[in-house]
Structure 1
Amino acid sequence: MEMDAIDKRKSVRKYKERFLNADEITKILHLLEMPFTGPGRNEIKFEFIAQDLDEDKGKVGTYGFVSGKYGAILGWCPKESYAYVDYGFTLENIALNLIDMDLGTCWLGGSFSRKNVIEAIGTDQRDSKTIPGILTVGYEAQGKRIRDVFISGTKRRRKELEECFFDSGLQPIEDEERKYILEGVRWAPSAMNRQPTRVIWDGNKVHFYLADAKIDLRYIDIGIAMCHFERRSRNEGLKGKWIIDSEAPKPNWLYVYTYLIE
């Protein structure tokens, strides 16, 4: 089976010492003009900091988590849980499109300076909104830095399918098509690889939950996971829509959304 953007996706923290060319910047700006929307229809306008943001210049301040020359995509988001879901959903959709353009990306949540970012974009909406995360973008460089090895060593192992995704009886998924779709969800990035998303697939309803909702970043994580689910489902011909289902099962997780397959 041909690899899609979800298969190709990885967190790129080392970029080439060559900044994006004018053609790539134009493509990114056109991409950001597209009407990306999340399940909750929160309007989030994303901006591209089309500057050389290497760490030596300190314009974003990624505390050494990213090196080389790169730009950043970000937006102001309402300070509300379901808005964070939309933020993760829409920005990951943008990330997958960038991957199809052969560009490297990396999500940053707590590892960037919001003060520096606000200075770079020239607007301040902190009274009612926040910038919960940014997406770096650039040309991937070969090799890993020593810090990358350390980061990988401190992350948790990626959970298996049967630990996160279940049928209506809370048993592991057996259907091969469903497993393929959910494998794309399993590889969705999440803060420190915690993988807080849980799924119950019940007929034409696919319920999404958070096993851990202690911090706002978890809502971004599930938004990213939901983006992967919708994209791969649609690629497999399973079109649907996101709803709030009052009759969704209530296991020991926090219910968030349901994908209703039409």
Structure 2
Amino acid sequence: MSNWKAILSYDGTPYHGWQIQPNLPTIQGTLAQVIHHITGESTLPQGSGRTDAGVHALAQVASFSLESPIPPANLHRALNRALPPSIRILSVEHAPTGFHARHSAVGKTYEYHIHPTGTICSPMLAPYVWPCPFPLDLQKLQQAATHILGSHDFTSFAATDPDLTTRTAEPIGEQPQHATAIRTIRHSYWREQEGILIYRVTGTGFLHHMVRNLVGTFVEAGMGRISPHAIPEILARCNRSAAGPTAPSSGLFLVEVEY
């Protein structure tokens, strides 16, 4: 068996997230079907994380094993020929034994894009942003974002669905697989680029819905509904009801995975 590492980019709009689901189109399911079509082997590619329905990726990483002695260049061409245009394989290569797209990762970077009120959002851009109808103060957004730097318990920003407990608690890297909501954030900042407000965050790992819940809370600060300096108190309460709403999935991108 050969271990493989693939980096892929996808438009998450037509998919029900990464994780395979019965009778629903998913990234993992589509990739598995195409690999089976090419090699005749049944394998379930493991992603660096389970992006939700509608979430996009610029550089998702997947690992899988194959018996087929197919050269990497041939597999690369065959995958992109067979996959729908909404999914592209950027690279595919042999990986060391033991490499796992999720467990071997040591960090991730996400971006969230907001189209602010005041201008018309192009229909070409709409699937990839949150067309936020509220006026936002960039300085307040940034003030709020700085408060999550460092190591914190992010329970207040995690999904509360009990069926997702295991999924929520999965840490990145070689940490023990036990329930913990503590994550370390190295970068957290906002910028404006060509009229779009972009939030970029890098950390050791992220809980389910964590980035979208952070953005929804930061937007509350940007609107003036809460103080930007309320974030430490929200973190300390370890209660999802203390934080703001969940931002829509359309604006979220997985940008990079570190190993």
- Do the two structures share a fold, i.e. TM-score over 0.5? no
State the TM-score bracket (shorter-chain normalisation).
under 0.3
Return the index of the structure with the highest Cα Rg.
Answer: 2
Larger helix share, 1 or 2: 1
Question: When you count strand as a share of all residues, which structure comes out higher?
Answer: 2
User: Per chain length, whose mean CA-contact separation is higher, i.e. which structure has more relative contact order (CA < 8 Å, sep 6+)?
Assistant: 2
